[in-house]
Amino acid sequence: AEKMSPTPPLFSLPEARTRFTKSTREALNIKNIKPLLSTFSQVPGSENEKKCTLDQAFRGVVEEEIINHSSCENVLAIISLAIGGVTEGICTASTPFVLLGDVLDCLPLDQCDTIFTFVEKNVATWKSNTFYSAGKNYLLRMCNDLLRRLSKSQNTVFCGRIQLFLARLFPLSEKSGLNLQSQFNLENVTVFNTNEQESTLGQKHTEDREEGMDVEEGEMGDEEAPTTCSIPIDYNLYRKFWSLQDYFRNPVQCYEKISWKTFLKYSEEVLAVFKSYKLDDTQASRKKMEELKTGGEHVYFAKFLTSEKLMDLQLSDSNFRRHILLQYLILFQYLKGQVKFKSSNYVLTDEQSLWIEDTTKSVYQLLSENPPDGERFSKMVEHILNTEENWNSWKNEGCPSFVKERTSDTKPTRIIRKRTAPEDFLGKGPNKKILMGNEELTRLWNLCPDNMEACKSETREYMPTLEEFFEEAIEQADPENMVENEYKAVNNSNYGWRALRLLARRSPHFFQPTNQQFKSLPEYLENMVIKLAKELPPPSEEIKTGEDEDEEDNDALLKENESPDVRRDKPVTGEQIEVFANKLGERWKILAPYLEMKDSEIRQIECDSEDMKMRAKQLLVAWQDQEGVHATPENLINALNKSGLSDLAESLTNDNETNS
């Protein structure tokens, strides 16, 4: 009989949970995940069964730690083990987030601060591909639950940390973090005294100043006492001032006719108070310096304090004024801006737009006059609000993602030809006529299909030669023809202008420096005509004067009597460079510094060629280009002697004398 293979052991939930709980305790003690990995491989069952069991074991251990009031370090260590378990693939990806939610729900707020610090530090882990998809909703729910437990006025910093964490965690285009429909927080109501009968403002104002201010002066200091009572405040101003907060809370009211009139009236009165009673820059700076010296911290309140007794102090506070003025600018930007979800009825009239424009300028002026650093603060606010327009445009477009996904097809797509291929319009047959799409263009193109030959055609040469153009002037310059000066062509201004252009293009004499001064253009052209007459073949008879014959004889005498020293002063020729480069060879680098060659030029010569003779020739050519007319054999011999190449210097001297 065939032997039956043993059946694999079946999965047992109680047994697996007990073993995983024990392994979790061991891993917690040694701060290492190895016991869990070992148990996971030994426990029978499928992957999903073992993962779910380990998840329950983690939650059970965390529950025991919380009940036993263990330290936050132990709880965070268990969560770290769960993170390692996800990385190793032995528990589900949502386990660390479930554990964090359990811990934050059970612990008091002071310990939640420590746990959330751990969450903040691991933001890079949460954003990784392994955790982000599985945990983003858990983290969002966890943060919102925590925000509900916190007080916005007492736990302001903690609330801000949570908001910053969410901003770092989610991408900018995450829908859950965007106010897509541009809704306002209508729950943010500013409460103030609306009953004039209960108001203490305006009643016994003199007594308040004499009795009440004594206490305040003792608290604030003698220097600030005059500022607090400088602005006359009554209940009417108090009511109008705080009523404006309702328009800042819900700007849509400004589109209603009656509400707009009320807003306009209240705003003009409040801004008039700001303009009439400006703050002292010196006093504000002194107060700031005292705060720095005493180490006093700036206290921030999430809500405005609307007590009547604080009104005079608030209006005298530069930071408070900045808050109010900035609210105006934000409101005006919304009223003027294009918002996608704004109703079609919400349109400003021309009168309203003009008032908002003028008031915006006034608000910026008040901000710049408000100490300290008012001008700088005003420009910074203006820049930020201008940048905010980009954010509004992005939201109006439906918040498209900034991430551009790479296409899966990595092969470059073949570019489709938009223009006709040459073979489609090149002519066929014996004539090979090329069709240009137009009869006249086709005729012109096929006059000469070879473009280069067409360009070289003599019929395209419109510039005359020197012989042709100056033939008449040369004949007139001959004394035997006896042409009077007034009838000569060089006196014609039109002829002179064309002659200058032709000389600039075809004559080397035009750019040669000369010490001779000419009083007029005809005189200059007369001189040039005489020079050209000597060089060009005579049109009829060569013009020669007695002076010219003497000059030629003198030139011949000079050549005959020229000494070797004079010949040394002439620039070296290309033939001399060729001969001497073969002799110089590999010793060119010794000579290079004495020819005033830079290191970069020497390196360039080495890179250009590996042949030593070619390098020597390049060195001499570069020296010739650098020195110009001073590149003489004499200077080259001096450089050779200085570099210690006396044999080459002597050879060059002998060659120079032999050639002469």
Q: How far apart are CA 479 and CA 533, in angstroms?
A: 13
Average pLDDT over residues 333-361: 89
Q: In sequence order, which residues have a C-beta less than 8 Å from that of residue 485 and are 6 or more positions away?
A: 491, 522
Q: How far apart are CA 13 and CA 24, in angstroms?
A: 16
For residue 277, what are the CA distances in angstroms to 288, 327, 329, 370?
20, 20, 20, 11
Residue 7 pLDDT exceeds 60: yes
Q: How many CB atoms lie within 10 A of CB 287?
A: 19
Q: How many CB atoms lie within 10 A of CB 398?
A: 9
Per mean pLDDT, which range of 194-208, 212-226, 390-404 is the poorest?
212-226
Residue 225 pLDDT exceeds 60: no
pLDDT at residue 654, rounded to an integer: 80
Per mean pLDDT, which range of 35-44, 266-275, 364-373, 409-418 is the poorest?
409-418
Helix (H/G/I), strand (E/B), else coil: 74: helix
Q: Check: pTM over 0.85? Answer yes or no.
A: no
Average pLDDT over residues 345-351: 89
Q: Which tokens is 302 given? A: 């999430």
Residue 366 pLDDT exceeds 90: yes
Residue 298 pLDDT exceeds 70: no
Higher-scoring residue by pLDDT: 404, 255: 255
pLDDT at residue 627, rounded to an integer: 76
Q: How far apart are CA 447 and CA 297, in angstroms?
A: 91
Contact 490, 472 (CB under 8 A): no
pLDDT digits (tens, 9 = 90+) for 612-632: 888 888 888 888 877 777 788
pLDDT digits (tens, 9 = 90+) for 21-33: 999 999 989 989 9
Residue 229 pLDDT exceeds 60: no
Higher-scoring residue by pLDDT: 369, 283: 369
Q: pLDDT confidence of 54, banded at 50, 70, 90? A: very high
Q: How many CB atoms lie within 10 A of CB 526?
A: 18
Residue 452 pLDDT exceeds 60: yes
Residue 416 pLDDT exceeds 80: no
Q: pLDDT confidence of 444, banded at 50, 70, 90? A: confident
Q: How many helices (H) and strands (E) does the chain have?
A: 33, 0
pLDDT at residue 177, rounded to an integer: 75
Q: Which tokens is 591 given? A: 């000579």
pLDDT at residue 411, rounded to an integer: 59
pLDDT at residue 566, rounded to an integer: 47
pLDDT digits (tens, 9 = 90+) for 91-139: 999 999 999 999 999 999 889 999 999 999 999 999 999 999 999 999 9
- Vertex 343: Cα angle to 340 and 348 (nearest 5): 100
pLDDT at residue 301, rounded to an integer: 59
For residue 65, what are the CA distances in angstroms to 28, 77, 262?
11, 11, 61
Q: pLDDT confidence of 633, banded at 50, 70, 90? A: confident
- Phi and psi torsions of 209, nearest 5°: -70, -40
Average pLDDT over residues 318-329: 93
What is the enclosing helix (H) or strand (E) of 566? Answer: helix 564-568
CATH number corresponding to 574-658: 1.10.533.10
Torsion sign across C-alpha atoms 644, 645, 651, 656:
negative
% of the chain with per-residue pLDDT over 90: 31
Q: pLDDT confidence of 408, banded at 50, 70, 90? A: low
Prior bond of 593 cis (ω within 30°) = no
Contact 532, 466 (CB under 8 A): yes
Residue 265 pLDDT exceeds 50: yes
pLDDT digits (tens, 9 = 90+) for 540-589: 444 444 445 555 555 554 444 445 554 556 777 877 888 888 888 888 88
Q: Is 388 left (phi over 0), alpha (psi -120 to 50) or beta?
A: alpha
Ordered by start, the domain boundaries in the chain are 13-176, 235-288+300-397, 425-460, 466-534, 574-658
Query: If you write DSSP's letter for every residue of 545-557 in order, what string do you get?
Result: -HHHHHHHHHHHH
* Average model confidence (pLDDT) across the chain: 80
Query: DSSP state, 191?
Result: P
pLDDT at residue 466, rounded to an integer: 81
Q: pLDDT confidence of 423, banded at 50, 70, 90? A: low
Q: pLDDT confidence of 429, banded at 50, 70, 90? A: very low
Average pLDDT over residues 233-243: 91
Residue 317 pLDDT exceeds 70: yes
pLDDT at residue 220, rounded to an integer: 40
pLDDT at residue 584, rounded to an integer: 84
Average pLDDT over residues 503-515: 75
Higher-scoring residue by pLDDT: 517, 587: 587
pLDDT at residue 260, rounded to an integer: 94
Query: DSSP state, 208?
Result: I
Q: How far apart are CA 615 and CA 208, in angstroms?
A: 101
pLDDT at residue 530, rounded to an integer: 82
Q: pLDDT confidence of 422, banded at 50, 70, 90? A: low
pLDDT digits (tens, 9 = 90+) for 146-198: 999 998 888 889 999 999 999 999 887 777 777 777 788 888 888 888 888 88
Higher-scoring residue by pLDDT: 468, 22: 22
Q: Cβ-count burial of 367 within 10 angstroms (0-12 exposed, 13-18 middle, 19+ buried)?
A: buried
